[in-house]
Amino acid sequence: MAQRPVIVIENDQSLRLLQAFLDGAPNAGRDAALADYLAHDLPDFAAWLKQARDRARGAYPADVKMVDTQDELLAALPGADAFVTEGLEIGPRELAVADRLKIVQKHGVWLRNIDVAACEARGVKVMPLRRRGNMTAAEHVFSMMLGLARKLTTINKLITTERLTAAGYRPKFFDRRYSPNANWARIGGLGFLHGGTLGIVGLGEIGREVALRASAFGMRTLYFQRTRLPASDERELKVEYCAFDQMLTQSDWVCILVPGVPATRGLFNRERLAQLKPGARLINVSRADVVDRDALVAALTSGHLGGLGQDAFYDEPGRSDDPLLKFDNVIITPRVASQPRQNGLADTEEMMVNLARVLV
């Protein structure tokens, strides 16, 4: 029997699917949990998994080692055939102990944590992956922006005089001898994205996908994060680096894309929300607690904050009496920005096939 490949995988939440699909050790409890996790988008998980593993022969079955830290990675690399990374670094120090390494698979396209030149010098192939969930999350950002700009939360299905009147509008046809009849419902306050300014807090993998789409919409894009991007990346993405406070005062839309860690909890407090341009809208596809809850309700109540789009909530499940649910200019979705499940499955299968092609 051929020796199983040894694959080291960073213990990132999204990469645990890859661990489960490549691990040659049977685990009925794990398989049942994954079938449940995928059931609403993938009714026949067993058939999909068999097909994916068939395409990945050479990488499956494997001996999988999960690592959390750089020290754990250094200890696991001797004898490893492949390494899959989200944020853990691989450079000369790691390559020096990686005596059998053939491929580094990046879970993303931003190779900032990989010394590509050092890998190439050692004959180690580096494979990036443009994550489908990041693209969908960026689309979700724009679905919320468009929904708020076009007032879709309030005007959906208002096509009869009775419904429009009940909603507080005064519908009436215009004098067609002198004007078109567009917006005979007389709905005011509609907006659009073109020419607006988008501020992105955290220009990582998802932020880059958002920036690409903002450019297509004809928006000016500012960004802030601790480390400024190289000028070549800024030109490619058509973004401008900006101090945090300055970005808040200039942006019509502010999109939060920071990790949910203790350092970012309450990042948007009363003071930060007060700095926003009056009427600006906030889009949060990060963790809910990045924005102070009481400050958020106060900013919406006063009208200083012009709207909110948020993909995760403070309580999961939420409460039907939550004050945020009363606002017409608020869109809240139950953590679906990166969905459907096919995104993660397709990413995982692509990584499995990449590994197999190199390891076979």
Q: What is the spatial distance between Cα 306 and Cα 291, in angstroms, rounded to a whole number?
A: 15
pLDDT band at 360 (very low <50, low <70, confident <90, very high): confident
pLDDT digits (tens, 9 = 90+) for 167-215: 999 999 999 999 999 999 999 999 999 999 999 999 999 999 999 999 9
Give the pLDDT of residue 76: 98
Q: Both tokens of residue 226?
A: 């601790």
The answer on pLDDT for 1 being more than 50 is no
Average pLDDT over residues 49-55: 93
Average pLDDT over residues 267-277: 97
Average pLDDT over residues 314-338: 95
The answer on pLDDT for 101 being more than 50 is yes
SS3 labels along 104-160: EEECCCCCCCECHHHHHHCCCEEECCCCHHHHHHHHHHHHHHHHHHCCHHHHCCCCC
Q: Both tokens of residue 24?
A: 């040659």
CB 238 within 8 A of CB 213: no
pLDDT digits (tens, 9 = 90+) for 284-314: 999 999 999 999 999 999 999 999 999 989 9
Residues contacting residue 261 through CB under 8 Å, at least 6 positions apart: none
**C-alpha angle 199/200/201, rounded to 5°?**
120
Residues contacting residue 178 through CB under 8 Å, at least 6 positions apart: none
Instruction: Kindly report which listed range (29-38, 129-138, 295-304, 349-358) carries the lowest average pLDDT score.
Output: 29-38
Average pLDDT over residues 314-324: 94
Average pLDDT over residues 95-99: 97
CA 247 to chain centroid: 21
Structural domains of the chain, ranges and CATH numbers in brackets: 6-129+341-359 (3.40.50.720), 134-150+191-328 (3.40.50.720)
pLDDT digits (tens, 9 = 90+) for 112-158: 999 999 999 999 999 999 999 999 999 999 999 999 999 999 999 99
